[in-house]
Structure 1
Amino acid sequence: MKNLIILTLILFTSCSLSAAVDVVVHPSNANAIDASDIKKIFTGKAKSFADGSKALPITQADGNPVTDEFNQNVLNKSSSQLKAYWSKLVFTGKGTPPEEAANDAEVINLVSKNPNLIGFVSQGSADGSVKVVQSF
């Protein structure tokens, strides 16, 4: 019984440590952006927001917990699947992967200065210089 309680606590703790993700845009971006739009933008299938303005995705470095969470929960791909996907598009000349930022602070800084950028950060790290459009 004692082992069952310990196992339950470990499982509960590990589940609660999973990183949640906020997708952010420039505060002037008034577009309604849903999960499908985000997936299309970050996989290169959409190049603009609903109003026609350019949509430039910015991601974070591989191995970063927020990147893994975003890839898995939003794009429904592992990091290796996403690498293979982009390798194929680059090789065939049909796309280029998103630019990469080092961390949440860099994403926030870049997005706050460019109304065309869309990025993701760890939930709760966005400040008033960017607007959260979706949380996962």
Structure 2
Amino acid sequence: MKTLLVMMACLLCASPAFAGYVVIVNAGNGAEVSMSDVKKIYLGKKGAFSNGENAIPITLSEGDAVRGQFNDGVLNKNEGQYVAYWSKMVFTGNGVPPREVATMQEVKDLVAKNPSTIGFIDESLVDGSVKVVGSF
């Protein structure tokens, strides 16, 4: 019985580590968006979706653990590399970094309101106002 309780406690504590995160666009956005497109949009190498509409990336605040997972898994950059990359892009006049917000709920709300935006959130926040285009 004691072992069972310990195992259940471990599973409950571990479940956030297995949370799934998804990349989202507005539900009305009809563009085809691949994870390669996501990477290019977030690195300022692509400014529009496949349908020609502007693509406005939204990210979480510096230091956020999910932002770190996105940067590592999707952009192949750790937080330091990501910040340095955007510092250089801004300094040279070659880009504007993604807009930062504090919470995944804010990301979802902004994407739900604007068809030009793209963001990433916990899959549990997905509803009919947004469309999933990838996961990490």
The answer to whether TM tops 0.5 is yes
Cα separation, 1, equivalents of 2:97 and 2:19: 23
Find the aligned partners of 1:105 and 1:51 in 2 and give their Cα distance.
26
Tell me if the contact between 1:25 and 1:131 (Cα under 8 Å) persists in the aligned partners: yes
Are residue 43 (structure 1) and residue 47 (structure 2) matched?
Answer: no
The separation in 1 between residues aligned to 2:28 and 2:15, in whole angstroms, is 35
What residue in structure 2 maps to residue 120 of structure 1?
120
The ranges of structure 1 where at least 4 consecutive aligned residues each deviate by more than 4 angstroms after the TM superposition are 13-16
Shift in Å, 1:109: 0.6
Q: Please, what TM-score do these two structures have when normalized by structure 2?
A: 0.85
How far did residue 51 of structure 1 move? 0.9
How many angstroms apart in 2 are the aligned matches of 1:42 and 1:113? 19
* Shift in Å, 1:124: 2.2
**Partner residue in 2 for 1:6:** none
Q: Per-residue deviation at 1:20?
A: 3.0
Q: Deviations over 1:14-70 (max 9, x none)?
A: 698155320011001111111100000000000000111100000011221211110
Matches within 5 A, 1:21-100: 21-100=21-100
**Distance of aligned partners of 1:63 and 1:49 in 2 relative to their CA distance in 1, 3 Å threshold:** same
CA contact (8 A) 1:26 1:116 kept: yes
- Specify whether residues 19 and 65 from structure 1 end up closer, same or farther in structure 2 by C-alpha distance, changes over 3 A only: farther
Q: Which range moves more in the overlay, 38-47 or 25-34?
A: 25-34
| Cα separation, 1, equivalents of 2:132 and 2:69 | 17
What is the distance in 1 between the residues matched to 2:104 and 2:16? 20
Code of the aligned partner of 2:55: A
- Which blocks of at least 5 consecutive residues in structure 2 are unaligned? 1-9
Cα distance 1:18–1:71, how it changes in 2: closer, same or farther (>3 A)?
farther
Once residues 15 and 76 of structure 1 are traced to their aligned partners in structure 2, the CA distance between those partners, rounded to angstroms, is 25
- Cα 1:37–1:91 change in 2 (3 A) is same
Q: Which runs of 5+ in 1 are unaligned?
A: 1-9
Q: Could you say what secondary structure the match of 1:124 adopts?
A: helix
Quote the Cα distance in structure 2 between the aligned partners of 1:19 and 1:44. 28
Partner of 1:107: 107
* Alignment length (residue pairs): 125
